[in-house]
Every structure is written in C-alpha cells, then in structure tokens.
Chain A
Amino acid sequence: QAVVTQEPSLTVSPGGTVTLTCGSSAGAVTSAHYVYWFQQKPGQAPRTLIYDTTKKHSWTPARFSASLLGGKSALTLSGAQPEDEADYYCSLSYSGAYVLGAGTKVTVL
C-alpha cells in the first residue's frame, strides 16, 4: 500500500500564506488520485474542504485553494485566520482505495 506524505506541522502568521503538500510514495500525484483535503478541529468531525483535486464545497472559504505542484497536491491558505488552526489531512485514491496522510497541524500564530 502506498504511503501518503504530509508535513507534520506548519506555522503561519495571521493574514499570512502557507502551503501544505501531499505526496505519494508511488510516484507523482495526479488528478487520477481524486485528491481530497479534510480539515479537522479538536473534538470535531472532519469536514471536506477540497474534492477532485481542486474543487471546493460551498462552505470552503475562498482563502483556501488547491493545485498540483511539483508532483504533489498542494493546499494553499492565503490570509490565514485564527479559525484556520486545525489538522489537515489529504487523501489519495489508488484504484478505489483511499489512503490518507498522517496530517498537518497548522498553527496560526
């Protein structure tokens, strides 16, 4: 089973920009992996921010965007807010089986 890699932690200043990445031990991440990004705050269920690599749900703040960059999926937060402090998980699909990364803890400080 492939391993999905994420940064363990990142810190961003309020109003600043941070990019989280999601890589695969099996090679480059592409749109065929149907990338998802989930946000989870302490004590809460996850919620889905990004699906199908770059698409947003109606509740996804405009300051979040996703792309493919350098063989990885990238989630960019531009204009970080205190409420964006959370764990972020990416998910890649491998022939219908989903593998999640270990998550990135984002601190807004």
Chain B
Amino acid sequence: QVQLQQWGAGLLKPSETLSLTCAVDGGSFSGHYWHWFRQSPGKGLEWIGEVTLSGGTNYNPTLKNRVTISLDTSKNQFSLKVNSVTAADTAVYYCAGRYYFDLWGRGTLVTVSS
C-alpha cells in the first residue's frame, strides 16, 4: 500500500528554519504534484504550496516569501522549508498529493518556542 512518510524537527526557536521531508513509500513518485498543508492548533487547514515533477512551484501568497518546496526524484522525496519561523508557524504540517490528493502523510507537529 502506498504511503507518505514524513519527518523533520518538531521543536524550533524563533528565527530558525523549519525543514520537513516527505517520502513516497511503495509507489511511483513520477507524474504527480506534491503539496504541503498546515493546521494551527484548533484551527483549519491551510495550503502552503506545491511542487511539480518538473520542479515548478506554486505557493500560498501569504507565505511565499519564506517558503521553499523542492523535490529529490532520486529518493522519491519532496521537502518543505520555512524561513524565519515565529510562534505563528506552530502547527501540524501535512504532506499530500498524487492522484487528486489521494495520499496524505500522518502529520508532523512543529512547535516554535523560545
């Protein structure tokens, strides 16, 4: 069964860089778009951005200046970086994608605290 496995640091200090990775386990990586979402505690889902297999990206305009999504096709992985984090970036981060968002990661809680 194809799954998305995600991992990354769960505790950051303000101004540090958030870095998460998502891997496609057991299935094809090619030919799809891959996305990141986040959900602040007790809040709704927010789309962060996407990367295509050609490496093209689209980002949420409200985060665009601090976000980079990239992919490593040799490892069937894609990654998220958010620069200069603040407490407002505390959230559960989800990777998702493939055929019309049929795959979702289990989520990674990232807490930003001094």
Contacts and interface: CB of A to CB of B under 8 A. Distances in A.
Contacts, number: 52
Nearest to B106: A45
A89 B102 contact: no
B45 A48 contact: no
Contact of B102 (A57, A91, A97): A57
Q: Interface SS of chain A: helix, strand, loop or mixed? A: strand
Interface residues of A, number: 23
Interface in B42-65: 44-47, 50, 58-62
Contacts of A102: 44
Nearest to A89: B45
A52 B101 CA distance: 11
Interface string B84-96: 0000000000101
Given A36-B101, A45-B106, A97-B47, 13 more contacts: A1-B62, A38-B45, A46-B45, A48-B100, A51-B101, A87-B44, A96-B50, A97-B58, A97-B60, A97-B61, A98-B35, A98-B50, A100-B44
Interface of B: 35, 37, 44-47, 50, 58-62, 94, 96, 100-102, 104-107
